[in-house]
Structure 1
Amino acid sequence: MSPVFSHGDLRLYLLSLLDEGPRHGYDIMTALSDRTGGTYTPSAGTIYPRLAKLEEEGLVTKTVDGRKTVYEITDAGRAEVASRSGDLEGIEAGLTDSIRLIADEVRGSVRDAMKSLRADLAAASREEHANAAQSRPDEESPRVASREQLARADAAVSEFRARVRADLRTFVARGGVLEASVVDSLTGALDAAGHELTRVLRG
């Protein structure tokens, strides 16, 4: 994955965050992660040296508040943010594109999972028909086999449901924007899978 911030952009974005109000270091790192939809989670080793550099340049001041160091933008820092508003808009647009890419990946994962599920259902149906044709004419045997396959189907559906829920919850927890189009794609794919299952079962 290409860097979320190109050279010099992180410096300006840090100033823009502080232009919104004073922040301590952890709050800055959390804000960066939230606003990039979890695509960028900076380390302390990345953020604090840049804050120290901004302080050296007179763009930021810091004060110690108990166990926290709070950073605040100076008038010179505000002037730089104001003078580079166009650059900042470009950075924001890039972050929006990054979040959109995540949404596209979610849609792709849902589509792939549903294709796999439909393929598994079709294969299971073919296997069941083949086994039924080869088995001896025992009325109880198909019922036993059907119960076994039903248990497999229940497990597959439960596993898929848990995986998709976990992916979606993690995405939102990281600050991602879950677009209506993603949910529409999910419900559409599930509906299609349901119709396909009905068609296969009715033979």
Structure 2
Amino acid sequence: MSPAVFSHGDLRLYLLSLIAESPQHGYGIIQALTDRTGGTYTPSAGTIYPRLAKLEEEGLVTKTVDGRTTIYTITDAGRAEVTAREGELAGIEAGLTDSVRLIANEVRQSVQEAMKSLRADLASAARDDRTASKSRPRTPADDERIVSREELHRADAVINAFRARVRTDLRTHVARGGALPASVVSDLEDGLDAAAKGVTAALAALQKPGR
């Protein structure tokens, strides 16, 4: 999503609605916009802070300084404007949802293209192996290498599909306003670490003498 998605006045109104949800600091607003647009639009500080200053000038938000952090809070006048323009906000939210859906479709298409490419590579490797086998007798070691190569391609496809699916689920969830607790990310990290250790252990076991 490019900044042009927010037509004239839309970004200002959306910023006001974010502050209406809860007091915000500038970085939090930038992060919220990034999350809700599926990571496709990360505004610069030069885009956000002048608009926040304008909202303050109009009496729609107030700011308080807490150490090095400036917190913006909506005023009664600001909340009244958000309420009066709920229909416009609904249209903006619908546009953001459509954008996230488009991102998900693009990711799925990318995965499909990657799978197609992997299948083509696998077919090419199989043809090369068949050609090579015609020029010399094939041994059990040859068969094992062919199987290993096929399984490596399959492992690549599984990993890529998993990454795309989880990434899309996470981004879509956050973009729709869902919470993403640190515990969920920690569980994901622990699960991936356990899976990696399991693969490493299984490969190490295959290399033991007598196997």
The bucket for the TM-score relative to the shorter chain is 0.7 to 0.9
Contact 2:60 2:76 in 1 (8 A): yes
Separation in 1, partners of 2:54, 2:98: 29
Contact 2:37 2:99 in 1 (8 A): yes
1:70–1:2: structure 2 CA closer, same or farther, 3 Å change rule? closer
Separation in 2, partners of 1:177, 1:102: 13
Give how far 1:2 is off.
4.1
Partner of 2:88: 87
AA aligned to 1:115 is K
Partner of 1:163: 160
Separation in 1, partners of 2:132, 2:86: 69
Separation in 1, partners of 2:17, 2:155: 45
Partner of 2:172: 176
Separation in 1, partners of 2:127, 2:7: 53
Higher relative contact order (CA 8 A, sep 6+): 1
AA aligned to 2:172 is G
Contact 2:61 2:78 in 1 (8 A): yes
Alignment of 1:11-160 (within 5 A): 11-135=12-136, 138=137, 141-160=138-157
- Root-mean-square deviation over aligned CA pairs: 2.1
Contact 2:111 2:164 in 1 (8 A): no
Give how far 1:74 is off.
1.1
Separation in 2, partners of 1:123, 1:131: 12
**CA deviation profile, 1:169-192 (whole Å, cap 9, x unmatched):** 44444x3249xxxxxxxxxxxxxx
Q: Secondary structure at the match of 2:172?
A: coil
**CA deviation profile, 1:119-140 (whole Å, cap 9, x unmatched):** 22222222222222232xx3xx
Q: Secondary structure at the match of 1:6?
A: coil
Give how far 1:112 is off.
0.9
Q: Secondary structure at the match of 1:176?
A: helix
Separation in 1, partners of 2:6, 2:165: 25
Aligned length: 173
AA aligned to 1:118 is R
1:67–1:171: structure 2 CA closer, same or farther, 3 Å change rule? farther
Contact 1:99 1:177 in 2 (8 A): no
Structure 2: unaligned runs, 5 residues or longer: 175-211
AA aligned to 1:149 is I
Deviates more, 1:69-78 or 1:25-34: 25-34
Separation in 2, partners of 1:159, 1:43: 36
**CA deviation profile, 1:74-110 (whole Å, cap 9, x unmatched):** 1111121122111111100100100100110121012
Separation in 2, partners of 1:2, 1:37: 12
Give how far 1:154 is off.
3.3
After TM superposition, the score normalised by the length of structure 2 is 0.73
Separation in 2, partners of 1:82, 1:30: 24
Structure 1: unaligned runs, 5 residues or longer: 179-203
Separation in 2, partners of 1:177, 1:109: 20
Give how far 1:30 is off.
1.7
After TM superposition, the score normalised by the length of structure 1 is 0.75
